[in-house]
Structure 1
Amino acid sequence: MENSIAIYGAYGHTGKFIVAELSRKGYKNLLLSGRDPEKLTLLHQEYPDLKIKAAAIDDPKAMDDAFYGAYIIINCAGPYLDTAKPIIEAALRSGSHYIDLSAEQKAVLDVFELFAEQAKNSKILIIPAAAFYGGLADLLSTALTQDWNKIDEINVYIGLDSWHPTKGTRLTGDRNHYKRLTFKDNRLQELEAGVPKEWDFKNPIGIKEVVALPLSEIITISRHLNVHTISTFLSQNSLNDLRNNDTPEPKPVDSKNRSSQQFCVEVIAVKGNIRRTVSAHGQDIYAVTAPLVTEAVNRILSGSIKKTGVTTMGEVFDASDFLQSLSEDDIKIAAIEESTLN
């Protein structure tokens, strides 16, 4: 069981991408787990050489059995407001590192507040929000400001040409009734209603109306970068898709089962009169989470980490090197541009 990796929620939409990516990268000691035995059995037909173990979130004994010997637990099962706490508790009991994909601000805050001391004392890694939402903007922001010890502001712009939400995304939206938080004047504050504006994401997204919509990257970035203000803006068209109950789920269009959805994440950081910009482009926000998580697994297993305890993608890894290591077929990272403000 040395270096075994347990994927909880392995049969979910993003979980399947992660299992496939780890398998492509040569990982064979994978344990597929989740709450639904029937879905696990169906997934096992695709991966007959891998072990499966069902475990309910409210059954600590079953989770201890499922995660026994796991070096890393990847939690792909939202809503993380419900699943993060019991799975992290199981990870602490088994001495396993933990990664999740949470976009929920409250879930990430709870992880820091509940488990920071215990994880540090146990010398294990707990990395919440290691996905497209949360992890990617954290890595980009960290790479952009790596030589700045103080930052005036960081603005994250997320543009999608469309958003076909999964069932898991809809369940999380229904569950997440907490007020959204932004970071202003060096502290978390409730988001105030803002005025939409236009932003040019360049091709293939183009010019989109964007609205302030802070997600888990507000929490992760503010935890380790000395920044005065952080804001996140999301394209309005993607929110319209998300809020429309008739919007269908994503459909695969290529050999990696990615949808045709295109995304752009642009991060702008300002310090004094210096402005820096970096952007990332790719296909399918759910699918791109898999190479992000797989690279995190690679670095944990190789010991390429800066600390243990509850941490973030940008804080625990060399952010610039991490981003450069990703395949352009998965995500294209533009060169950092610097300019002087008038």
Structure 2
Amino acid sequence: MNDAPLFAIYGANGHTGRLVAAELLSRDQSIVLAGRDAAALEATAGELGSPGRVRTLVAPLDDPAALRELAESATVLVHCAGPYARTGEPVAAAAAAAGCHYVDHAVEPHHVRYMFASLQAEAERTGAVMIPQMSFYGGLADLLAAAVTEGMAGVDRVTVGYAVTGWRMTPGALRTAELLIGEIDRVTFADGAQHVGPVEIRNTVFPFPPPVGPRTMIAPFPSGEVVTIPRHVPARAVESQLTASTFEEEQVFTSQDADAAARARTEFTVAVQATAPGGGGRTGHVRGRDIWWVGALASVEAAVRLAAGEGPAKPGVLGAAEAFPATPFLRLLEGLGAFTLTV
């Protein structure tokens, strides 16, 4: 491997993959675009320009040798191709075996749970740092929960509230949503333990700060921070919730062909409420626009730091807040224009 880092982007033809590629190129990094469609990869490479810093590699999910070649060639692999319930295992396992650092954009709790349960020992053995859901859904909430609860003497419950408007799903996001909506056995964290099984979906109200205000929520919302937050916050219960109005917007399930400008018009608030056992507690939130770009930026910041040796002291599978100091990382993203942070 050359001294200069090489960043592999799996699923480079998708919206998130293109955003990640463009962000890395803007930082003068070298990248390899990977996926199953050679013609599409070459077209994307041509659109990105920078021929001296972009190459392609065809690596279908059912070709372990090609995935291993990809992982062995790269310093960090950024996995952008959902649904991760289908794509996550072969790509992540190849990275773990090759000792390649790994970051993904998963939202699915079962994929996040799989990585901790099945890849931890291999990643520790090979020296790979692997961070699932380093993206808008999951990663931001994990970091925010760590920042909000820092210094609290005790934590009874952590509730994550997502307020999202104007969400335009990509084809991969739509397939992920369909899988999650139809999921029967869900991952939850209650009474100090992780559970997998059927749960009752309910409506509740989350007290977002102004100007959003209290909103009706779908609870629980299946996002992977229900797996990662309990690893570093000793809470009795952790739950994520999403504004019910998000899925009521007409365009949310019919926007697979939306252009990049339309996708960028998403507005969001992500808030964390941490309650103490005896009452009281703390809150914090981030507010911004364009969930796709924010997720891409978070993954690139993580990848660049891993490549530079500025990640955690030891390898393994880690949540976002285990891999990086939470408040400084959030402030860094705020400084880059990702959102405004209140904590």
User: Could you say whether these structures have the same fold, taking a TM-score greater than 0.5 normalized by the shorter chain as the test?
Assistant: yes
C-alpha change, 1:228 and 1:51, in structure 2 (3 Å) is same
Q: Which residue of structure 2 aligns with residue 10 of structure 1? A: 12
Q: Which residue of structure 1 aligns with residue 269 of structure 2? A: 264
Greater shift, 316-325 or 16-25, is seen at 16-25
**Matching of residue 156 in structure 1 with residue 157 in structure 2:** no
Distance apart, 1:132 and its partner CA: 0.7
Matches within 5 A, 1:100-179: 100-148=104-152, 150-176=154-180, 177-179=183-185
Distance in 1 separating the partners of 2:252 and 2:297: 29
Distance apart, 1:18 and its partner CA: 0.8
Distance in 2 separating the partners of 1:64 and 1:198: 44
Amino acid at match of 1:238: T
Residues matched between the structures, number? 331
Amino acid at match of 1:23: L
Greater shift, 41-50 or 62-71, is seen at 62-71
Amino acid at match of 1:315: E
Match 1:227 to one of 224, 235, 243: 235
C-alpha change, 1:274 and 1:192, in structure 2 (3 Å) is same
C-alpha change, 1:135 and 1:245, in structure 2 (3 Å) is closer
**Matching of residue 304 in structure 1 with residue 301 in structure 2:** no
Distance in 2 separating the partners of 1:84 and 1:169: 14
**Sequence identity percentage:** 30
Q: Which residue of structure 2 aligns with residue 323 of structure 1? A: 330
Distance apart, 1:175 and its partner CA: 3.7
Distance apart, 1:181 and its partner CA: 2.5
Alignment partner of 1:90: what SS?
Answer: helix
Distance in 1 separating the partners of 2:178 and 2:246: 17
Distance in 1 separating the partners of 2:334 and 2:9: 22
Greater shift, 79-88 or 60-69, is seen at 60-69
Distance apart, 1:104 and its partner CA: 0.5
Distance apart, 1:206 and its partner CA: 5.1
- The answer as to whether partners of 2:84 and 2:108 remain within 8 angstroms in 1 is yes
Matches within 5 A, 1:199-238: 199-203=207-211, 205=212, 207-212=214-219, 213-238=221-246
- The answer as to whether partners of 1:199 and 1:209 remain within 8 angstroms in 2 is no
- The answer as to whether partners of 1:159 and 1:263 remain within 8 angstroms in 2 is yes
Distance apart, 1:333 and its partner CA: 3.5
Q: Which residue of structure 2 aligns with residue 292 of structure 1? A: 298
Q: Deviations over 1:33-57 (max 9, x none)?
A: 1112121011011234111111101
Distance apart, 1:89 and its partner CA: 2.2
Distance apart, 1:116 and its partner CA: 1.1
Amino acid at match of 1:157: G
Distance in 1 separating the partners of 2:134 and 2:208: 26
Alignment partner of 2:292: what SS?
Answer: coil
Distance apart, 1:218 and its partner CA: 0.7
Distance in 2 separating the partners of 1:116 and 1:123: 10
C-alpha change, 1:119 and 1:198, in structure 2 (3 Å) is closer
Higher helix share: 2
TM-score (norm 1): 0.89
Alignment partner of 2:288: what SS?
Answer: strand
- The answer as to whether partners of 1:199 and 1:208 remain within 8 angstroms in 2 is yes
- The answer as to whether partners of 1:278 and 1:333 remain within 8 angstroms in 2 is no
Distance apart, 1:208 and its partner CA: 3.1
Q: Which residue of structure 2 aligns with residue 240 of structure 1? A: 248
**Matching of residue 335 in structure 1 with residue 342 in structure 2:** yes
Distance in 1 separating the partners of 2:64 and 2:48: 26
Q: Which residue of structure 1 aligns with residue 102 of structure 2? A: 98
Distance in 1 separating the partners of 2:176 and 2:55: 28
**Matching of residue 30 in structure 1 with residue 31 in structure 2:** yes
Distance in 2 separating the partners of 1:245 and 1:325: 33
Amino acid at match of 2:47: E
Distance in 1 separating the partners of 2:282 and 2:179: 36
- The answer as to whether partners of 1:159 and 1:201 remain within 8 angstroms in 2 is no
Distance in 2 separating the partners of 1:317 and 1:170: 30
Amino acid at match of 1:210: M
- The answer as to whether partners of 1:104 and 1:215 remain within 8 angstroms in 2 is yes
